[in-house]
Chains A and B, each alone.
Chain A
């Protein structure tokens, strides 16, 4: 079974839409992360959850809202996004926040 899965793989939304990205990990890890990857920029950490508690919010605009109902699932709720938010959104997990991270395949988001 694939370690970290993300759905949907592709998403196109208007600026007034509300959508959610889903991440699930089957590795028994306790930490989960959201990253944003834009063209020609390094991977940017957005949020960190450790044992379901948010430990890091890297100055992310409030139009991005994370949710971690349990250690295996992580959501990113999106509303009133801007075109510059178009990017590849990657989820990752690790056994603890001190261990190497494993990534999902990402969701390619396009905001029109």
Chain B
């Protein structure tokens, strides 16, 4: 069975500090991994995805994520957090020949000035 885990319900970080939002996955076969962000009362916005190739993926708004096959992880990172990054972040996984995505439970990121 496919699944995604976001072990932290909430992450707190000071503005200007680096941030990491964790995601681990379980999928048979090669995974396709995605990160989305959701602001209050809005839909999800796509940040980045990993399909194949370079393990470090760069996305929107200065975010990046590193695919680690041995640890089955796809952590989202940003070198310097902004207050405007405060939102709910979702990790999702899919796989080949499988058009259904599984989403993690979400991590609330709080960036304090």
The answer to whether A and B assemble together is no
Which residue numbers of A lie inside 8 Å of B, CB to CB? none
